[in-house]
Amino acid sequence: MDTTIFLVRHGETVDNARQIMQGQTQGCLNEKGREQAAQVAGRLAGEQIDAVVASDLNRAIQTAEIIAAPHHLSVSTTPLLRERDWGGFTGRFIPDLKGEVWPDDIESEETLLLRARAFLLYITTTYPGKRVVAVGHGIVNKAILAVYAKCSMREVHRMMNAEVRILTASAENTASAAVAASLASARPMASAAEGTSATTAAGSASAE
């Protein structure tokens, strides 16, 4: 049975606003981020939601709890939804990273994509036929969308803070890596608000 996934990026954080590379640090929503999460909660309040799952990082949990409240649901967490590990870039001011050689301890794209596929398999096997909100982060969400659409991460438009995209997937398709979907079928909902980010010269590092 198909699982409907409301894939959400967390609301804006203190470090998003400061253009600090967060990676797998906990992070904390700022006032704008809490407002963004509340707007998503309002838009999803009329939807049937069976479960809410989040990354085990604080900024995603905070966002998920706000979204879950109207449905009287608790939030489950999984490390599969953690943001990409930015290694030695973590905690750095993003504009300063322009042109720098990437450290060897950054999580590889291959490992990230394997984790994204594992997440989709986890969701579709744990919640078959259910409608699930999943709150993650900018880069891991991009990897999930790439696996879903069977395309490269570079072809996926980045998600803004508190943006929602809707995916429909099954365990059978995920397990065989044969998800019958195009990127266009990941239907976007309007973002609650614009987020902030900056990129490295390599074109993919951001304050997620």
Using pLDDT thresholds of 50, 70 and 90, give the confidence band for residue 70: very high
Task: Provide the mean pLDDT of the chain.
Answer: 87
Mean pLDDT for the stretch of residues 140-152: 97
How far apart, in whole angstroms, are the C-alpha atoms of residue 171 and residue 3? 8
pLDDT at 207: 53
The pLDDT tens digits for 93-102 are 989 998 888 9
Q: Are the beta carbons of 135 and 63 closer than 8 angstroms?
A: yes
Q: Are the beta carbons of 28 and 20 closer than 8 angstroms?
A: no
The pLDDT tens digits for 89-138 are 998 898 999 888 898 999 999 999 999 999 999 999 999 999 999 999 99
With vertex at residue 131, the alpha carbon angle to CA 122 and CA 151, rounded to the nearest 5 degrees, is: 55
Model-level pTM?
A: 0.85
> Six-digit token pair at 50?
């069976």
Whether pLDDT at 71 is above 80: yes
Q: Which of 57-61, 72-76, 182-186 has the lowest mean pLDDT?
A: 182-186
Q: Are the beta carbons of 26 and 205 closer than 8 angstroms?
A: no
Show which residues are catalytic. 10, 83
Using pLDDT thresholds of 50, 70 and 90, give the confidence band for residue 189: low
In the chain, % helix, strand, coil (3-state, to 5) comes to: 40, 15, 45
Domains, the chain, ordered by start: 3-189 (3.40.50.1240)
How far apart, in whole angstroms, are the C-alpha atoms of residue 139 and residue 137? 6
| H or E, element range at 9 | strand 3-9
How far apart, in whole angstroms, are the C-alpha atoms of residue 25 and residue 5? 25
Using pLDDT thresholds of 50, 70 and 90, give the confidence band for residue 197: very low
State the DSSP string of 63-96.
HHHHHHGGGT--EEEEGGGPPP--GGGTTSBGGG
pLDDT at 5: 98
